[in-house]
Amino acid sequence: MDEKIKKKYDGNRKPGNAPRKPGESRDRKPNRPERPARERDFERRENVVVGRNAVRELLNSGTPVDKILVSGREGSVVALIAQAKEKKIPVVDADSAALDRLSGGENHQGIAAYVGEKEYSTIEEILETAVERGEKPLIVVCDGIEDPHNLGAVIRCAECAGAHGVIIPERRACGLTPAVSKASAGAILHMKIARVGNIAQTIEKLKESGIWTFAAEAGGIDFYDADFNLPCAIVLGGEDSGVSRLVKERCDFIVSIPMYGHVNSLNVSTAASVLLCRAARMQRQG
């Protein structure tokens, strides 16, 4: 063997790179840097609700709660503690730093709650909700929203408009983190949320179920001229990329909100509120 090549391979024979022995486990590479604990914890804690309004909605929703952590007993936290004790939910004192870590840096307002991890719904369950209410389906499809505050705000808009469900993708998008829960002001607890592998395929599935799909993008028809008085899904794109090409091509309509100022677009959650309120009003007026 060439001496240079031999030296190269010999140099890689470090303890962490040695061949495994028979039956030896391979949990992780010893020389791979481990992510900070805070980052790992944040990914795992989709079952944490933080903030006074969000915890209040949680307690009122009847969702099982494992325990509540508080860093002080003052103001509206006192009433929440009393409500938790009535429901026989353990209340634990914790310092503010612990709540900071638990909330991933969100403003927890001195209170956080552990709940059973929110179960995602299916598209069929979302459609069944509309049937049970005797209403035309109104669904929000999020195509790659990455900011948790935006996703939480969209969920809040959807709930306030009486939408029957929100659909989010599994990859390259935000999941249901504590930040999303807080930004939704508790609306996440009242909204069916489905998580799917492919948004474009989901659009096709919705169309097969009799749902008309509206992509919110520039260059479409004025949303005032759009007919939302039918079973519909409003598709919202990511903060920077908008609705992806494949998804847009599969939608029945493209609708736009006219801009009259110098800025050429609205924040995704603001656009959601405009379109959802318009659609909800048209559906209820018949």
Could you list the residue range(s) of the whole structural domain that residue 235 is in? Answer: 123-285
- Does residue 47 belong to any structural domain of this protein? yes
Please tell me which residue, 22 or 213, carries the higher pLDDT value. 213
Tell me the pLDDT band of 267, cut-offs 50, 70 and 90. Answer: very high
Domain closes at, from 64, 93, 115: 115
Tell me the pLDDT band of 16, cut-offs 50, 70 and 90. Answer: very low
69, 202: one domain? no
* pLDDT value of position 264: 86
190, 57: one domain? no
pLDDT at 284 over 60: yes
The C-alpha angle 169, 159, 246, rounded to 5 degrees, equals: 30
Find, among 119, 123, 121, the residue nearest to 201 by Cα: 123
Tell me the pLDDT band of 19, cut-offs 50, 70 and 90. Answer: very low
Residues 6+ positions from 97 with CB-CB distance below 8 Å: none
Residue 76 dihedral angles phi and psi, to the nearest 5°:
-70, -15
Q: Which of 66-70, 82-86, 231-235 has the lowest mean pLDDT?
A: 66-70
Mean pLDDT, residues 124-138 taken together: 97
Tell me the pLDDT band of 27, cut-offs 50, 70 and 90. Answer: very low
* pLDDT value of position 116: 55
Tell me how far apart the terminal alpha carbons of the chain are, to the nearest angstrom: 82
* pLDDT value of position 45: 52
> How far apart are the C-alpha atoms of 59 and 107, rounded to whole Å?
19
Bridge partners (DSSP) of residue 215 are 235, 254
Number of domains in the chain: 2
154, 224: one domain? yes
* Mean pLDDT of all residues belonging to the chain: 83
Domain closes at, from 115, 134, 154: 115
pLDDT at 33 over 50: no
Q: What residue type is 97 in one-letter code? A: A
Structure tokens at 39: 């980052």
- Does residue 7 belong to any structural domain of this protein? no
69, 171: one domain? no
Mean pLDDT, residues 50-58 taken together: 90
168 and 142 Cβ atoms separated by less than 8 Å: yes
104, 172: one domain? no
* pLDDT value of position 251: 97
- Does residue 8 belong to any structural domain of this protein? no
* pLDDT value of position 225: 96
213 and 206 Cβ atoms separated by less than 8 Å: yes
- Does residue 79 belong to any structural domain of this protein? yes
250, 278: one domain? yes
190, 280: one domain? yes
162, 218: one domain? yes
In the chain, % of residues over pLDDT 90 = 52
149, 219: one domain? yes
Q: Which of 24-28, 67-71, 249-253, 254-258 has the lowest mean pLDDT?
A: 24-28
Contacts 24+ apart (CB under 8 A), 52-56: 52/76, 52/77, 52/80, 52/109, 52/110, 52/111, 53/185, 53/186, 54/181, 54/182, 54/184, 54/185, 54/186, 55/80, 55/111, 55/112, 55/113, 56/80, 56/83, 56/186
Tell me the pLDDT band of 123, cut-offs 50, 70 and 90. Answer: very high
200, 246: one domain? yes
> How far apart are the C-alpha atoms of 82 and 104, rounded to whole Å?
26
136 and 202 Cβ atoms separated by less than 8 Å: no
- Does residue 269 belong to any structural domain of this protein? yes
* pLDDT value of position 46: 58
> How far apart are the C-alpha atoms of 208 and 215, rounded to whole Å?
17
Mean pLDDT, residues 238-252 taken together: 92
pLDDT at 159 over 80: yes
142, 280: one domain? yes
Give the length of the chain. Answer: 286
Mean pLDDT, residues 59-81 taken together: 87
* pLDDT value of position 164: 98
Half-sphere exposure at residue 153, Cβ-oriented, CA atoms within 13 angstroms: 15
The full DSSP string for 176-211 is S-HHHHHHTTTGGGTS-EEEES-HHHHHHHHHHTT-
C-alpha to C-alpha distances, 211 to 120, 240, 248, nearest whole angstrom: 21, 27, 15
